[in-house]
Structure 1
């Protein structure tokens, strides 16, 4: 799916539709049902994207699916005040914990995202890609990229908690509560989604630059004009020739 289309759909389904539901369906559905429906719409979208659109079950989709299930379960935790502020921030906190642990363990999560995203077609390609990712500059870029996403998740979790704590002050199960939740969502969902896309873009640039530092060039071609896997294979051949 085109990235711009994906971003637009994430914003529409993840933010616009839930906000409209929270602001307009309280009388028709009841406040509690309205809240649950609004909370589950983004969850349904994530699962639909994972199971029916992406249709790949790997590390990335497992992570996304786990995140969606967590959000779905939390929708039925009916709380308000500081507990709601914490509940609504658990998703970002989850990302902070996962990214942070991966760095502490020396296995940056961006490594696994990249391995799945590159989708090597054979064991030989997978072995070559792993060797490339083990190079010092590439590994450093993976760590730095993971830290960028960790920082974004940390900022998102703190900001989301503070906004909810300050704005969502009504009791759960009231129209005012749903409207206040919608107000916070209008601020956070679009902002955080765009911020995450920007962070992922910066991470991709850093990693790509580091990877291509170790790749050769084909005769008569710029690196950008060559297929990545062809360059990786050429790198392997050159290393074999140098070792022989």
Structure 2
């Protein structure tokens, strides 16, 4: 487990839970709740501005998500409204990912374009061409749909967990402790299906991408650099345009 992931877990889950359980007397219940809710938000902005220092599609998405969470921290509710509020992250994801499918621009495409980080305009254009292959595009759509379904299930489960566990009134020590309890459960349990869905989608997309990539010197795809294979694919496409197959060679094939 790398240091960045450990920091994400500590700042996103461990510290807020400790604050909710231990600082109610010192800060007051309302202030304690707000501070605990804003710690993960502040960490995201510190990460984006001082650690990652990259502003692109992915960081814009994460930043928007963080702003939403920050604003929701000041919506002081309990009961059903709190359960709905705590599930807003899933609702946001479903709307963004689902909307991208409706407009025929699966959001995974943009995550891939940013995440794979092409280093030149040639690599960027070659990657775009690969992702537009019908087989790959269909997999991008299916992967986005899968993540929408997973996020819907996570949102429903999160709502029910909160509804069942957080039953105290807002502004009480018991409320903060119950929020800490539900966070300790959901931050672990609900992360498993999320990572599983991402993993399944990633494997399917990878398989579809390599289907359209040539092999280098009869080596397995795993033994070659992805960008080298993509460059080889572009070279072969250019060669075919210059010297298209003859009728005799087509008959032999």
Q: TM-score range by the shorter chain?
A: over 0.9
Query: Structure 1 residue 243: deviation in Å?
Result: 2.1
Among 81, 86, 89, which residue is 2:87 paired with?
A: 89
Asked which structure has the greater CA Rg, the reply is 2
TM-score (norm 2): 0.91
Query: Structure 1 residue 121: deviation in Å?
Result: 1.6
Aligned to 2:132: 134
Among 153, 157, 168, which residue is 1:159 paired with?
A: 157
Q: 2:10 & 2:146 partners in 1: Cα distance?
A: 25
Q: 2:45 & 2:188 partners in 1: Cα distance?
A: 19
Q: 2:59 & 2:189 partners in 1: Cα distance?
A: 23
Query: Structure 1 residue 8: deviation in Å?
Result: 3.2
Aligned to 1:217: 215
State the Cα deviation string for residues 80-132 of structure 1 (Å, max 9, x = none). Answer: 11111111111110000001011111111000000011111222211111110
Aligned to 1:70: 68
TM-score (norm 1): 0.94
Indicate whether 1:175 and 2:177 are aligned: no
Query: Structure 1 residue 206: deviation in Å?
Result: 1.4
Aligned to 1:39: 37
Unaligned runs of 5+ in 1: none
Query: Structure 1 residue 186: deviation in Å?
Result: 1.0
Aligned to 1:123: 121
Q: 1:124 & 1:175 partners in 2: Cα distance?
A: 58
RMSD over aligned CA atoms reads 1.5
Query: Structure 1 residue 4: deviation in Å?
Result: 4.6
Unaligned runs of 5+ in 2: 243-253
Q: 1:49 & 1:153 partners in 2: Cα distance?
A: 24
Q: 1:194 & 1:44 partners in 2: Cα distance?
A: 25
Q: 1:23 & 1:161 partners in 2: Cα distance?
A: 21
Q: 2:53 & 2:200 partners in 1: Cα distance?
A: 26
Q: 2:223 & 2:58 partners in 1: Cα distance?
A: 28
Query: Structure 1 residue 5: deviation in Å?
Result: 4.0
